[in-house]
Amino acid sequence: MKKLLFILFFQVSIVFGQSVDKFFHSIDDFGAKGDGVTLNTIAIQNAIDKCSENGGTVIIPKGIYLTGSLELKSNTDIYLMNGALLLGSTQLKDYKEFLPQLKSYNDSFLRYSIFYAERVSNISIRGEGTIDGQGESFKVTTKEKPERYKNRPYIIRFVECSKIKIEGIRLQNSAMWMQQYLGCKDVTVKGISVFNHANPNNDMIDIDGCSNFIMSDCFGDSDDDAITIKSTSPYVSENITITNCVVSSHCNAFKLGTESTGGFRNITVSNIVIKPSSVKTTIYGTPGGISGITLGAVDGGPLENITISNIVIEGVQVPFYLRLGNRGRKYTPDAPQPGISTFKNVFLSNIIATKLASNIGASITGVPDNYIENVTLSNIYVEYPGGGNEDDASKKLDELIDHYPESTMWETLPAYGVFIRHAKNITMNNVRFNIIEKDMRPAIILDDVEGITINDFETNSLDEKIKIENSRFLKGNFFINGTEK
């Protein structure tokens, strides 16, 4: 492969009348040693700096290369050859501390990474090699916040960058989140493989306040959340497409939130397989995962215009969880106090969820006087374990308005299928709930719902199927299979 790349660059150099060195910057030529022992930070950084000045590609050849922090500059292309292993140093002193100009909730504790870039453009990390953070070496010694998050490097952290490509590589064993893209634009993440079970907070990817972001054809297995879209600054996460991925997580496989300061807008997610992790021991969460789909808006930003389709879910506790809350967390101590978020125009379709690990149930919930609006569930099949008893069926849920938005926050719900509260304009088309064991709970509970349309709903339960509570608050039309109730 190295020879093939060299020939390719050589051919390009002939066309443009420039030397091979103009395009091909092997880190070995800058003094790097692939012995797994030598610290190569300076050699690799020198190659990056020359690439940024003169153009071309930084080549990481076959070998084991140890490094600390590397800062990418504009017009930098990193290519890891087949057999190349880039190891993050296990010594914090080998990492540079970066505090971005963009203020976000993470500023107090997330400052280290192997690859860092800020306010640059046209950067890429590609190839067939592997980047390993050796994250298990960074021990967590306290449960206190924010101290428990500190001093653990990411593998990739890019802030306010544009024209980014991450393609083909394998990322594994980060000390913290695997990769964060904060306030970035025009990003493509394609064909990567992620394995992250080395430490707490081992997310697969965090897309944070980004716009024009495409992620496709990726594989991921993480202890913490897998595909995560956040908003830890005033920037909105918007115009995002995620498709054709296979992911596993001990926590949430696909998640919007919990940090939701700037909010979420215009996001499509499709063709995703969510399956149990290959790793059965957990740091957080459960072996099969907490949720398949979690959408949470709790810190003032909007959540709107979201479509999620063609999803297969296996083994999680909760198939889907939609939550409008009012945690109201500031993104910096001196930031203005956020108001309550809005949550509207969400479409979930063509979803199959089987072998669920708990009988908690799904939920769609707002808070009093602040409703989730315009949610449609179409072509949904969920196989629930059942087993709920009379106490579960009579359970009254606290509002938990300012609670951390997690699908297990109420534990077992009083409906085995979906519990809907403080919501407007909810539509269910061709929804099927199947229970394996007898369940004393109704399939659906509607509590303070204004406008509900249910067409072609079925369940194999012989008991109460739909329960309407606080009916004096139920306004508008209520349809089941085209008949007004």
Domain boundaries, the chain: 203-484
- Segment 233-242 shows an average pLDDT of 98
Q: Residue 40: is its pLDDT beyond 80?
A: yes
Give the strand pairing for 170-172 and 70-71: unpaired
pLDDT single digits (tens) 265-302: 999 999 999 999 999 999 999 999 999 999 999 999 99
The mean pLDDT value of the chain amounts to: 92
pLDDT single digits (tens) 186-220: 999 999 999 999 999 999 999 999 999 999 999 99
Please provide residue 51's backbone torsions phi and psi, each rounded to the nearest 5 degrees. Answer: -60, -40
Q: Comparing C-alpha atoms, which of 136, 128, 29 is closest to residue 86?
A: 128
In this prediction, residue 479 carries a pLDDT of 54
Q: How far, in Å, CA of 115 to CA of 133, rounded?
A: 11
Q: Residue 324: is its pLDDT beyond 70?
A: yes
| Percent of all residues in the chain with a pLDDT value above 90, rounded to a whole number | 85
Band (238; pLDDT cuts 50, 70, 90) = very high
Burial of 24 by CB count in 10 Å (0-12 exposed, 13-18 middle, 19+ buried)? buried
Band (50; pLDDT cuts 50, 70, 90) = very high
Q: Comparing C-alpha atoms, which of 171, 224, 229, 179 is closest to residue 202?
A: 224
Which residues are CB-neighbours of 126 under 8 A, at least 6 positions away? 77, 78, 79, 80, 165, 166, 167, 168, 169
For the chain, counts of helices (H) and of strands (E): 3, 34
Query: 10 Å Cβ neighbour count for 157?
Result: 27
Q: Residue 108: is its pLDDT beyond 90?
A: no
In this prediction, residue 483 carries a pLDDT of 59
- Segment 425-449 shows an average pLDDT of 95
Band (475; pLDDT cuts 50, 70, 90) = low
**Residue type (1 letter), 330:** K
Q: Residue 19: is its pLDDT beyond 70?
A: no
- Residue 69: DSSP 8-state: -
Q: Which two tokens stand for residue 60?
A: 């990481």
Q: Comparing C-alpha atoms, which of 173, 383, 354, 379 is closest to residue 273?
A: 354
In this prediction, residue 22 carries a pLDDT of 59
Q: Which two tokens stand for residue 319?
A: 């198939």
CA-to-CA separations, 118 to 37, 122, 261, 355, in angstroms, rounded: 29, 12, 21, 43
